[in-house]
Structure 1
Amino acid sequence: MSETPKNIAETLLAEMPRLAQVQTICDPGIDGPYIVAVPDGLRVEDLTAKHRAVVEALKPLQRTGKAILADLESLIAWTNRFKGHETVLFGQIHPAPKLISVIDYHAEGSATVDATAGDPTANYGRHRAVYDFPVSEQWKRWMEIDGKALDKDIFGEFIEANAEDFLDPTPALLGSPGAEVEIWEKRMIDIAAKIQGRFGQYAAINLLSRELKIHEVGHIEVKTNRDTGEAQVQFLTEHRSPDGTPLTLPNLFMIAIPVFEEGALYRLAVRFRYRKAGSDVKFIVSIYNPDSALRDAAREAMDHAREATELPLLMGIPEIGAN
């Protein structure tokens, strides 16, 4: 017996569920897309973003973000809180000191790429922290007058306002025999030897800024070559104190200041010079080799971070997670 033909309405009712059915093309996953075919000509619809938004509505699937930390100890504490086997520190000296902690850096070892799973050692470096070494206020103040010729009054006011920065020379720096020499003292002695320097105490520098008076004495010196009879005439000047004795002044002193904010004190040698300008005297101070001091202080801080976190420290910028 033949089946009774259906009318058009029955046919539409029977076909609509099939035509409206959503077909899954790719099942959802953490790393894979979620793609389905929907009605309206069975167009392809990518629901990956919507699916992940729902999955991560209450909790992220992965730790991401960049922390900007205010001091070195905070970067060390942050790194120790999140570090794993893949964590690496990156240090940079120029153009400005910086320390970067990449928690999810590439795992150690050569890459092993699988056709379906990819490279299991690869990471994006999305969880990281940065500490930009800010120079201290003390460093800014000394660099502001570095190499400038200052009037006695201005120089005197400056050193009085920053008296706590001064560090009097030890017996070893003053050449006392038998004095034990520490490593930092040897560095200062080497600096003094290079520039034929003599270290002065704060009290002496302060007194000079108040009371120094210079008398300039000039005389003519004639040198004659007895073989040829040729004569050389030279006008010489020398600076003397008011009582007429030759002027001998210290040309070095020491300060101990943090190079970076919240950093440890760093001993620095400062060159001290004067210049006679008419009846006045100008004083000039300049930190000896400030670039070296900045570099050494940054390396010391980075080495401290390496030891405190027990992580590898690489000098440079990582290829991932740097921005």
Structure 2
Amino acid sequence: MTGHSSDNAALIDVVERLHTPQEFDVISPDETIRAPYVAVPKGMELQSVRSFLEEYRVRPERRRGTAKFTDLMSFLQHANRFKADHSALFASDDPKTPSLTSVLDYHEPGSDERDGTHYGQHRGHYTFPLSDTWKAWQAVEDGKPLSMLDFAEFLEDRIGDVIEPLGAPYEGEPESDTRLREQIQRLGGTLASPSVLLDLSRNFRVNEDSKTKVVQNLSSGEVVLKFETAHVDEQGAPVKVPNMFLIQTPVFHGGAIYRVPVRLRYRSMGGSVHWIVMRLRPEIVFEHALNEALALAETETGLPVFRGAPEV
């Protein structure tokens, strides 16, 4: 009986020690935070005390979060306020959603990623606001051909974007005017004024004059029927329609104004006229405006600008 009693006592002692609350201090790695805690075991499980330490923290462990801006200069001022030696800017050149992101705690350069690694969690973000004018012409360009009514309504809303054709060349004219004129001439462009464009959208009518011709190849005797269709006005004269016009538009809201040639075409479909408008190489204008903005960002902050997206 004595042996059984001692075994039972030993077992009870072990159980009591395993289930007795234990007092201890939790100390942060930098030894700036010391917190008393009591562990009440429910089993042999390891638990992190990180969440407990956070309760006693008097300041954040590190900067984190993304500030969002509606103004480019505010974005740049924020970058200047918090930038470090290895901060960087990342630019998205997507024409639909161009943007800038600053990573203020970015990694240091070097082949050994263990050295100088930062968290990359303190950031700023700015989405370039495309101007209403740019978006309006983009939308009509991406859509279906416009009926006479839709074309007239669109022009009445946007006629303020249309500018007069370029005048005759003159000595000392800006180089941009010369380049624009040469570009239009190379394409055989005939520019419409705002008033002519409005008149076309409201009053343009065409009639189709169809003819059938018999063409015979004398050497082979082969006979081919050719159908020719000409568009004529109400007097029977060939229709002459300007094939281009000029608009002025900023790419970004509040940005520089660009003059952009717009192609103008029409189609006679089922007895009605439909219009097609297409800006000439808008991607070149967009790229110029974006490059100007990125150059400003690099100059104002002194930070490198990478095209793309930072690591998640």
Name 2:5's counterpart in structure 1.
none
Which residue of 43, 54, 57 maps to 1:55?
Answer: 57
Once the two structures are TM-superposed, the CA of residue 83 in structure 1 deviates from its matched residue by: 1.9
Once residues 134 and 219 of structure 1 are traced to their aligned partners in structure 2, the CA distance between those partners, rounded to angstroms, is: 52
Once the two structures are TM-superposed, the CA of residue 206 in structure 1 deviates from its matched residue by: 1.4
Once residues 165 and 53 of structure 2 are traced to their aligned partners in structure 1, the CA distance between those partners, rounded to angstroms, is: 69
Once the two structures are TM-superposed, the CA of residue 273 in structure 1 deviates from its matched residue by: 1.0
Checking the alignment, whether the CA contact within 8 Å between 1:272 and 1:286 is kept in structure 2 is: yes
Once the two structures are TM-superposed, the CA of residue 216 in structure 1 deviates from its matched residue by: 2.4
Name 2:133's counterpart in structure 1.
138
Name 2:87's counterpart in structure 1.
87
Name 2:157's counterpart in structure 1.
161
Show structure 1 runs of 5+ residues with no match. Answer: 1-18, 114-118
Q: Deviations over 1:221-269 (max 9, x none)?
A: 3434343444433121211233333222221222222333444334333
**Shift in CA distance, 221/191, structure 1 to aligned 2, threshold 3 Å:** same
Name 1:312's counterpart in structure 2.
304
Once residues 61 and 241 of structure 1 are traced to their aligned partners in structure 2, the CA distance between those partners, rounded to angstroms, is: 78
Bigger mean CA offset, 202-211 vs 218-227: 218-227
Bigger mean CA offset, 298-307 vs 286-295: 286-295
Return the letter of the residue paired with 1:315. Answer: R
Checking the alignment, whether the CA contact within 8 Å between 2:246 and 2:261 is kept in structure 1 is: yes
Name 1:214's counterpart in structure 2.
206
Once the two structures are TM-superposed, the CA of residue 164 in structure 1 deviates from its matched residue by: 1.8
1:128 counterpart = 2:123? yes
Once residues 260 and 233 of structure 2 are traced to their aligned partners in structure 1, the CA distance between those partners, rounded to angstroms, is: 29
Checking the alignment, whether the CA contact within 8 Å between 1:221 and 1:233 is kept in structure 2 is: yes
Identity of aligned residues (%): 33
Once the two structures are TM-superposed, the CA of residue 180 in structure 1 deviates from its matched residue by: 4.5
Name 2:194's counterpart in structure 1.
202
Query: Secondary structure of 1:197's partner?
Result: coil
Q: Deviations over 1:127-172 (max 9, x none)?
A: 1011233433333322332242323233222212212211333237
Checking the alignment, whether the CA contact within 8 Å between 1:91 and 1:316 is kept in structure 2 is: yes
Alignment of 1:175-254 (within 5 A): 176=169, 180=173, 182-183=175-176, 186=179, 189-190=182-183, 193=186, 196-254=188-246
Return the letter of the residue paired with 2:139. Answer: E
**Shift in CA distance, 273/193, structure 1 to aligned 2, threshold 3 Å:** same
Once the two structures are TM-superposed, the CA of residue 105 in structure 1 deviates from its matched residue by: 0.7
Name 2:248's counterpart in structure 1.
256
Alignment of 1:77-116 (within 5 A): 77-94=77-94, 96-111=97-112, 113=114
Which residue of 258, 261, 275 maps to 1:269?
Answer: 261
Q: Deviations over 1:46-81 (max 9, x none)?
A: 65544444232xx43432211111232322222122
Checking the alignment, whether the CA contact within 8 Å between 2:232 and 2:238 is kept in structure 1 is: yes
Return the letter of the residue paired with 2:130. Answer: V
Once the two structures are TM-superposed, the CA of residue 39 in structure 1 deviates from its matched residue by: 7.8
Once the two structures are TM-superposed, the CA of residue 177 in structure 1 deviates from its matched residue by: 7.8
Query: Secondary structure of 1:104's partner?
Result: coil
Name 1:7's counterpart in structure 2.
none
Bigger mean CA offset, 44-53 vs 226-235: 44-53
Which residue of 146, 149, 158 maps to 2:145?
Answer: 149
Query: Secondary structure of 2:56's partner?
Result: helix
TM-score (norm 2): 0.74
Name 2:66's counterpart in structure 1.
66
Checking the alignment, whether the CA contact within 8 Å between 2:161 and 2:247 is kept in structure 1 is: yes
**Shift in CA distance, 185/77, structure 1 to aligned 2, threshold 3 Å:** farther
Once the two structures are TM-superposed, the CA of residue 309 in structure 1 deviates from its matched residue by: 2.1
Checking the alignment, whether the CA contact within 8 Å between 1:34 and 1:46 is kept in structure 2 is: no
TM-score (norm 1): 0.72
Query: Secondary structure of 1:162's partner?
Result: helix
Residues paired across the two proteins, number: 288
Once residues 72 and 214 of structure 2 are traced to their aligned partners in structure 1, the CA distance between those partners, rounded to angstroms, is: 63
Once residues 137 and 34 of structure 1 are traced to their aligned partners in structure 2, the CA distance between those partners, rounded to angstroms, is: 57
Query: Secondary structure of 2:86's partner?
Result: coil
Query: Secondary structure of 2:107's partner?
Result: coil
